[in-house]
């Protein structure tokens, strides 16, 4: 049996033509994408509390960017304080808290713009995290209220929001 050459206009001819067209050995150069500019350097920590917070970023806020000014307070056992932040849609957030010496248990609570409790830290201890077990990714922008509660001990508290992209 003799092999027949494909007839001009046949589908096989078209497939062979396209296959052979890519065999020229010439490759198109990939488009050059400029590298993102490096982030602006952060100022040094202002105290030991902030230094400890930054040390925990490697595990609790890896690849996230600090968002807004940190919340600071000094609380006695049983005290609670709230602060608000505008969380935008299209981003995911984490809230980390760091406490000083003398604090044995600190809790965080997060309320949506309607005042509904949407998340609380799930672990005991002086360094709670919101957004670690379930991401905080608002569907709409809005003012969220975070509450810091001193459950055990007393001392300084620092809470910092982190976001998944540079703003």
CA dihedral 17, 19, 25, 26 (to 10 degrees): 80
CA–CA distance, 141 with 50 (Å, rounded to integer): 28
Residue 58: the pLDDT is 85
| pLDDT exceeds 90 at position 91 | yes
Given a contact cutoff of 8 angstroms between Cβ atoms, the answer to whether 157 and 83 are in contact is no
pTM for this model (two decimals) = 0.73
Count Cα neighbours of 114 within 13 Å in the Cβ-side half-sphere. Answer: 5
Between 35-44, 80-89, 91-100, 158-167, the lowest mean confidence (pLDDT) is in 35-44
Each residue's pLDDT tens digit, 108-128: 999 999 999 999 996 789 999
pLDDT band at 21 (very low <50, low <70, confident <90, very high): low
Q: Pick left, alpha or beta for residue 125 (phi over 0 → left; psi -120 to 50 → alpha; otherwise beta).
A: left
Each residue's pLDDT tens digit, 52-87: 999 988 899 888 999 999 999 999 999 999 999 999
| pLDDT exceeds 80 at position 5 | no
Residue 31: the pLDDT is 67
Residue 41: the pLDDT is 81
Mean pLDDT, rounded, of the chain? 84
């Amino acid at each position: 049996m003799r092999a027949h050459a494909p007839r001009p206009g046949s589908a096989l001819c078209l497939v062979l033509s396209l296959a052979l067209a890519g065999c020229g050995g010439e490759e198109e150069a990939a488009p050059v994408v400029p590298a993102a500019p490096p982030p602006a350097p952060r100022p040094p920590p202002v105290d030991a509390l902030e230094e400890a917070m930054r040390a925990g970023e490697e595990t609790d806020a890896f690849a996230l960017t600090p968002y807004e000014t940190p919340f600071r307070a000094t609380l006695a056992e049983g005290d609670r304080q709230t602060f608000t932040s505008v969380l935008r849609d299209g981003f995911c957030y984490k809230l980390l808290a760091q406490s000083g010496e003398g604090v044995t248990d600190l809790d965080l609570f997060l309320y949506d713009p309607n005042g509904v409790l949407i998340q609380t830290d799930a672990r005991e201890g002086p360094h709670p995290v919101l957004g670690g077990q379930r991401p905080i990714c608002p569907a709409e922008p809005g003012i969220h209220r975070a509450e810091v509660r001193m459950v055990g001990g007393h001392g300084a508290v620092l809470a910092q929001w982190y976001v998944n992209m540079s703003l």
